[in-house]
Amino acid sequence: MKLNDLDSVHASAATVVPYLRSTLKRIFDIVFSLMVLLLISPIWLVAIFLVSLDGGPVFYSQRRVGLNGQTFKCWKFRTMVVNAETVLQNLINTDPKIAHEWNSTQKLKVDPRITWVGKWLRRCSVDELPQFINVLNGTMSVVGPRPFAREQIGLYRNAALVKYLSVKPGLTGSWQVYARHDTTFACRAKYDELYVDQASFAMDLALVVKTPLAMLRGQ
């Protein structure tokens, strides 16, 4: 075999391996999502009933950035008041501490926008269940970095944006399992960056197994 032929074989192998992994990941995403949706259907119905009690919409969607920078509608059970975006902007404009916390973590530890039902849904991560629909339609994966809003792209540009855009966003991932709410935005981004660098099907399975434990602990 000539040297050029050997290089060709190596190049082909480098192409085949990622393809096989992505195919296996997609098959797992579909099978696992269908199984989960079947098993959690009673929880789904209870959540729909509770969220609808305040008269607002049951589901909430927001445009998020996914693979290759394509945007898609990311679905959740609504956990906040109907005018949540306006409330947040007013809080940021009037309270410097809240503005600093939001800019640092993109979260609020004590968030007045969250409804009483929403607190329970979030604590158990039930609010994320509609994203299994996103997994089935191929815009998300079971495991991967969390999808971010278009308004946050400036933050992610300083946090390995290219790596974020190289994979599908996921329902769960490294920082959700190992750090959850106890990290800054920069630290969460580092977890996601390491996941993209080290991603494997075995790692995905390990994170899927550990996710229910994190949910049960209410982290």
Closest CA to 208 of 161, 171, 165, 159: 171
Contact 72/66 with Cβ under 8 angstroms?
yes
Residue-level pLDDT at 200: 85
- pLDDT digit string (tens) for 91-127? 888 888 888 888 777 777 888 888 999 988 988 888 9
The sheet carrying 59-65 orders its strands as: 71-77, 59-65, 148-149
Q: Domain residues of the chain, as ranges?
A: 3-79+114-216
Residue-level pLDDT at 196: 86
- pLDDT digit string (tens) for 170-219? 999 888 887 766 567 777 778 888 888 888 888 898 899 888 877 776 55
Whether residue 8 has pLDDT greater than 70: no
Closest CA to 79 of 42, 126, 46, 44: 126
Are β-strands 170-172 and 141-143 bridged in parallel, bridged antiparallel, or unpaired?
Answer: parallel
Closest CA to 146 of 77, 208, 74: 74
- pLDDT digit string (tens) for 113-167? 889 999 889 888 889 899 999 999 999 999 998 888 888 877 777 667 788 888 8
Work out the number of other CB atoms within 10 angstroms of the CB of residue 205.
14
